[in-house]
Amino acid sequence: MNQVRGLAAMSKGAPFVRHDFERRALGSNDVLIDIAYAGICHSDIHQVREEWGPAIFPMVPGHEIAGVVREVGAAVSKFSVGDHIGVGVFIDSCRQCKPCKDGLEQYCDQGMTGTYNTLERDGVTVAMGGYSNKFVVDEKYAVKIAPSLPLDGVAPLLCAGITPYSPLKHWKVSKGSRVAVMGLGGLGHMGVKFAHALGAHVTVLSHSANKEGDARAMGADDFVVVKSPEDLKPLSRSFDLILNTVSAQIDINIYIATLKIDGTLVVIGLPGAPYPVHVGSLLNGRKSLAGSMIGGIAEMQEMIDFCATHSIVSDIEVISADYVDTAYERTVASDVKYRFVIDAATI
Q: What is the pLDDT of residue 275?
A: 85
Helices 186-197 and 297-310 cross at an angle (nearest 10°) of 70
- pTM value? 0.95
All domains in the chain, ordered by first residue? 2-159+313-346 (3.90.180.10), 162-291 (3.40.50.720)
- Which tens digit of pLDDT belongs to each residue from 117-150? 999 999 999 999 999 999 999 999 999 999 999 9
Residue type, position 278, single letter: H
CA dist 148 and 164 (Å) reads 22
pLDDT < 50 regions, the chain: none
Cβ neighbors of 179 (< 8 A, separation 6 or more) are: 168, 173, 191, 195, 200, 201, 202, 203, 239, 240, 241, 242, 243
- Which tens digit of pLDDT belongs to each residue from 281-308? 899 999 999 999 999 999 999 999 999 9
